[in-house]
Amino acid sequence: MVQGRLRKSAIDGWKRIYCRGDWVKKKLEAIIAKHAHLAEQMADPEIYGDQDKLTPIAIEHSAMEGIVNVGKVYISVLDQIADDKEILDGDDDDLKKIVQEELGDLVAQQENLEEEIKVLLLPKDPMDNKNLILEIRAGTGGDEAALFAADLFRIYTRYAERNGWTFKIMNSSDTGIGGMKEAIVSMQGKGAFGMLKYESGVHRVQRVPKTETSGRVHTSAATVAVMPEAEDVDIEILDADLKIDTYRASGAGGQHVNKTESAIRITHIPTGLVVTCQDESSQHKNRAAALKVLKSRMLAAEQEKASAERAAERRSLVSTGDRSAKIRTYNFSQGRVTDHRINFTTYRLNEILDGDITEIIEQLKIAEQQELLAAETE
């Protein structure tokens, strides 16, 4: 008798779970239908032959692949549960026993898929698929900070290479001893900004400098700013708002770069933003590169303002370089890297210095997803 009541309780529970999944199924079916419609549009000769029309459709279609694939599995599981539910409503006791064992596994699979679907349905940052502008600047710590800035430059350029991205140095200032006072790099690749956007902030290093004879550990810092590369449709800049100065480039560059006024300094008068570029061979190329950086900085500033207004607190992209404002610490004597935002520590320092930062990025993504999920339930 007790066993019969327990069995009935389990059956009622499975029915409730199935009913909950029914509205999820309807939502997924609508998404799958839209995905199929986008595929039809992409095959339309009028759209296929027009890149301006095709590109946004292809991007949206590609972005839906994950939820569509999981959704199809989820619907299949629900259909199996529905078939088993019909058997439970019937009179065949032997079949009911078999179905009850199967239902437990199916319901567990349904619940796991629902958790995955929740994450996939979270609102996406529209900037994630953009290319990016990366700025690295030496902060507190003198020559050691500049050497650390060069280490960070290597981390991100090696990460770009690992992902098959392309990158171009837009401006750099070397110290002459292997360090960098500043580096501005453009990176192009699928989902580039979405991957590296978590790197903005102050990075701190703890190690014994090569010039230190007493073996004392020094602490230095460098700032990193990662901004989505602005397109003309994102930011409009009036020529009247710009002050453009030319000057002779400094540093290595051969006969041409140091003998002509090819370097460019652009000041955006309304905001006071200043961008310099001298790494290109001509004044025209340096002007184009400097404008790209300026637009990206302005787009980043707009994003920060909008985020603050939404009360979705985000860290400012550009920091003072103060060691106390750190987001991550690289401790060489312990071989340790700690991200202080999520209290994540790994002892893979050498791999990270060679650009293998995927693990840290994945942990930061998970933390962001958990925050978004928590906000959805409030």
**What is the pLDDT averaged over residues 183-189?**
93
Strand order in the sheet with 180-188: 166-174, 180-188, 132-138, 218-228, 201-207, 326-331, 336-339, 344-346
Look at 282 and 131; give whichever has higher pLDDT. 131
| Domain count along the chain | 2
Query: Angle at Cα 92 formed by Cα 87 and Cα 96, nearest 5°?
Result: 55
pLDDT, position 377: 60
- Does one domain contain both 112 and 183? no
89 and 142 within one domain: no
Residue 106 · residue 81 · CB < 8 Å = yes
Q: Are residues 108 and 129 in the same domain?
A: no
Determine the length of the chain: 378
Residue 34 to residues 69, 124, 126, Cα–Cα distance (Å): 13, 17, 19
pLDDT of residue 376: 64
Partners of 133 in the β-ladder: 186, 227
Q: Are residues 66 and 151 in the same domain?
A: no
**For residue 325, what pLDDT band results from cuts at 50, 70 and 90?**
low
pTM of the model: 0.67
pLDDT (0 to 100) of residue 2 = 35
Which has the closest alpha carbon to 206: 45, 94, 335? 335
pLDDT range class, residue 343, cuts 50, 70, 90: very high
pLDDT band at 207 (very low <50, low <70, confident <90, very high): very high
Structure tokens, 368: 């962001």
**pLDDT tier, 311 (very low <50, low <70, confident <90, very high otherwise):** very low
Residue pLDDT, tens place only, 68-98: 999 999 999 989 888 888 887 777 777 877 7
Contact 276, 264 (CB under 8 A): yes
Q: Please give the single-letter amino acid code of residue 86.
A: E
Give the type of residue at 317.
Answer: L
The DSSP bridge pattern shows strands 201-207 and 326-331 to be parallel
pLDDT at 316: 41
Q: What is the mean pLDDT of residues 250-261?
A: 54
Return the axis-axis angle of helices 65-88 and 93-120, rounded to nearest 10°. Answer: 160
pLDDT tens-digit series, residues 167-181: 999 888 888 888 999
Tens of pLDDT, residue by residue over 139-158, are 988 889 999 999 999 999 99
- Which of 120, 135, 152 terminates a domain? The answer is 120
Last residue of a domain, one of 85, 105, 120: 120
Kindly state whether residues 136 and 112 are assigned to the same domain.
Answer: no
Domain residues for 201?
124-378
Tokens for 224, please give them.
Answer: 């990193």
pLDDT at residue 335 greater than cutoff 90: yes
Integer Cα distance of 89 and 348 in angstroms: 56
Rounded to 5°, the CA angle 248-319-287 comes to: 30
- Secondary structure (3-state) at 126: coil
In degrees and rounded to multiples of 5, residue 134 shows phi and psi of -110, 130
Whether residue 29 is predicted with pLDDT greater than 50 in this model: the reply is yes
